[in-house]
Structure 1
Amino acid sequence: MLILSACSGQDKKDAADFFLKGNKALSQKNYAEALRLYDEAIAKNADFSDAYLNKGITLLKMGRPEDANEILTEAIKIDPTLTQANLVRAESGLDLGRLREAKQDLQQIEKDYKDSSRFFLVRGNLLGAEGNASLAVADYDRSIQLQKLNVEAYVNRGAIYYGLKNWKAAKEDFENALALNPVQPEALNNLGLIATKERNWKMALSYFDKVLAATPNDPYSLNNKGYVLLQTGSPEQAKELIEKSLERLPKNGYAFRNLGIYYQQSGAHEKAIEAFTKAIDIAEPVDMLYGLAGQAYFQQKNLTEACRIWKQGVVLKDSISMAESANNCR
């Protein structure tokens, strides 16, 4: 006689109990406990697709997108109709830079999610990552239309506007986000950046300080506050914050640029060049970077290297590079 192993009724009941407790822990942002409880649920019922889904959501909240992606794939294998798992897996794919896979997940569930604010938010994020700003904005518009209180959609649409240099629209979105959540860190930080561009140093500092009051080690606000302090005559305090930012986020081109500015102001041109070079090596767009790097070489009377860097900056539409190259290079 062939005996098949099966999940008993009691096991399923126990699994459901663990699942509900896990959901409560997840809603309370007690992610470690939620993870433990979902694992208990899965141990009692290996085919509990919803437990896999919520475990995936928890792992994503914990900043573990690779693990989340794996668990969500398991959920979809168990229940291919569990479309929410595709949506969350698309989010994990975005975090991992797997844009093609994220796109496939979203295309698969598009018909089922035509009234989902979350779907349009995630697809907007994908379109933004693909560099399609106008379609991203349209999806964020739809996301907000479906859910007026969608803080994330306001922040992310604001980030697109910021990238397009539409400061007015960006500012409005970040302020709308803060009206819904007064301590939303990305909105505060980005408003600080807009105030920095407007050279409203006092206002910029107030935004960065609000972020740091809640999260003292936030690398972006530490660095951005450091830049403002460099502009307002507090270089040593600035250096301390920039270096602290780099400890938290070692591959931040803006932080190396700001460190270069500190050394440039101090007359330590070799160290400035070293910092600017590190920023260039990270290969991410950083305002004024090539212009400042060229100036550091120029101050060392190395016109050949200065012009080489400025010419690279001209291609990238770096305003300092354009002016310096026109004045100093043939």
Structure 2
Amino acid sequence: MSIRLELIVILILLVLNILSCTSQSKKDAADFFLKGNQALNQKNYAEAVRFYNEAIAKNADFSDAYLNKGISLLKMNKAEEAFDVLSEAIRIDPTLVQANLVRAETSLHLGRLREVRQDLQAIEKQYRDSTRYYLIKGDLLSAEGNSALAIPEYDKAVQLKSSNVEALVNRGAIYYNMHAYKQAKADFNAAVSISPLLPQALNNLGLIATKEKNWPLALAYFDKVLDADPSDPYSLNNKGYVLLQTGQAEKGKELISRSLEKLPENGYALRNLGMYYQLTGNIDLAVETYKKAIDLSEPVDMLYGLAGSAYWQQKNASEACRIWKQGIILKDSASIAEAAKNCK
């Protein structure tokens, strides 16, 4: 009997020891989680991921740690890793609807539009009062080519949070593409009033000033961005275009080339470089550069009209007309005018 009693006592002690270890592990996991949150709030994303990994090592079912790790990875532009981590958070706790929302945003970065829609549909009831939800839904519809349907979603996002600068900028971008410049300008100005150095809004205001041929104002907007970030590829390219238009071709080419070093496959920068070559009489290089821009298959204003005119300067009328006819399909105004004048 004494042997059996001793065995029972030993077993009880083992169970108590396991429970004690489990409790300590969860406490340690919580401590690492809080440290991760502090790093995340300080935008120290790599450090946050390290702490969340420690938390998960102590507690493999810590769904909130997976969620915040996924957020950190997304902030680090590691969308593929973020998607997998967020999927694990949802597997562990299917009620953690915030993970669905962040995974929807992650899928948007990856171009997985079907998965975005699935996650948004799964949490629609819980997020009917969420500005972030309507922002992502607007972004989804925009990515699907349903810009007109995206605007009401951005409207809801702004109604729920007037300082949602992403919704303001994204709605403004749709208005800009619709040539509704007054509404676009209002949205970009509203975004700048909230975040004065927001590069996307400043760049877009510069583009509107460029459309209006208000060159000094356009340069002022692009310079604001470049003062804060001298390597911003969009402002470098946009300022370069303005310089091309104002008789400063060499300075413009320098900025456009710097932009292409940062973003080699920017159709607008390639178009602008082609314009430089055309302006300076190097038609062969202009044609070559326009072809590179066309091969990207991105919508770029005036590209087909300019490319056709370069071919025309080469005395290659058949190719010029072919390019202009492609431009007509894309509603390129220069292509429409040139084809009507020069092509049968």
Report the TM-score when normalising by structure 2. 0.93
1:242 pairs with 2:251: no
In the aligned structure 2, how far is the partner of 1:39 from the partner of 1:320?
56
> Where does residue 277 of structure 1 map in the other structure?
291
Residue 185 of structure 1 deviates from its aligned partner by 0.9
Match of 2:6 in 1: none
What is the deviation of 1:39?
1.2
In the alignment, is residue 39 of structure 1 matched against residue 62 of structure 2? Answer: no
Correspondent of 1:184 among 198, 204, 208: 198
Aligned counterpart in structure 1 of residue 39 of structure 2, from 25, 31, 48: 25
Partner residue of 2:3? none
Match of 2:119 among 97, 100, 105: 105
CA offset digits 1:62-114 (Å, max 9, x no partner): 11111111110111111111101010000111111100111100001001101
SS at match of 1:287: coil
Q: Report deviation, 1:30.
A: 1.1
Between 1:4-13 and 1:159-168, the stretch displaced more is 4-13
- 2:143 is equivalent to residue 129 of structure 1: yes
Q: Output the amino acid matched with 1:141.
A: D
Q: Given the alignment, which residue of 308, 323, 341 partners 1:294? A: 308
1:325 matched to 2:305? The reply is no
1:167-316 equivalence runs, <5 A? 167-316=181-330
Which residue is equivalent to 2:110? 96
Aligned counterpart, 1:60 = 74
Aligned partners of 1:209 and 1:123: how far apart in 2? Answer: 33
Q: Deviations over 1:266-307 (max 9, x none)?
A: 100000001000000000000000000000011111111111
How many residue pairs get aligned? The number is: 329
Instruction: State percent identity of aligned pairs.
Output: 67
Q: Which residue of structure 1 lines up, in the alignment, with residue 8 of structure 2?
A: none
Gap regions ≥5 residues in structure 1:
none
Q: CA deviation at 1:210?
A: 1.0
Secondary structure at the residue paired with 1:29? coil
How many Å separate the matches in 2 of 1:205 and 1:24? 40
Q: 1:134 and 1:302 mapped to 2: Cα distance?
A: 40
Residue 157 of structure 1 and its aligned partner are, at CA, apart by 0.8
Give the Cα separation in 2 of the matches to 1:67 and 1:220.
28
CA distance in 1, matches of 2:125, 2:295: 43
Mapped pair 1:80 → 2:99: no
Equivalent residue letter for 1:266: T
TM-score after normalising by structure 1: 0.97
**Aligned-partner Cα distance in 2 for 1:149–1:303:** 53
Deviation at 1:236, TM superposition (A): 1.2
Alignment correspondent of 1:51: 65
Structure 1 Cα separation of the partners of residues 76 and 336 of structure 2:
44
Match of 1:148 in 2: 162
SS of residue paired to 2:162 = coil
Secondary structure at 1:284 match in 2: coil
4+ runs deviating over 6 angstroms: 3-7
Q: State the Cα distance separating 1:188 from its structure 2 match.
A: 0.5
Residue identity in the other structure for 2:317: L
Q: Distance in 1 between matches of 2:178 and 2:167?
A: 17
Question: Which 10-residue stretch deviates more, 19-28 or 48-57?
Answer: 19-28
User: How far does residue 170 in structure 1 lie from its aligned partner after superposition?
Assistant: 0.5
1:159 to 173, 183, 186: 173
Larger Rg: 2
Task: Measure the CA separation in 2 of the matches of 1:26 and 1:195.
Answer: 38
Runs (5+) with no aligned partner, structure 2: 1-10
The structural deviation recorded for 1:181 is 0.5
- 1: distance between equivalents of 2:95 and 2:153? 24
Partner letter of residue 57 of structure 2?
A: A
Measure how far apart 1:33 and its partner are: 1.2
Letter in 2 for 1:174: F
> C-alpha displacement at 1:134, in angstroms?
2.2
| Cα distance in 2 for residues equivalent to 1:209 and 1:112 | 43
**Aligned alpha-carbon RMSD (Å):** 1.4
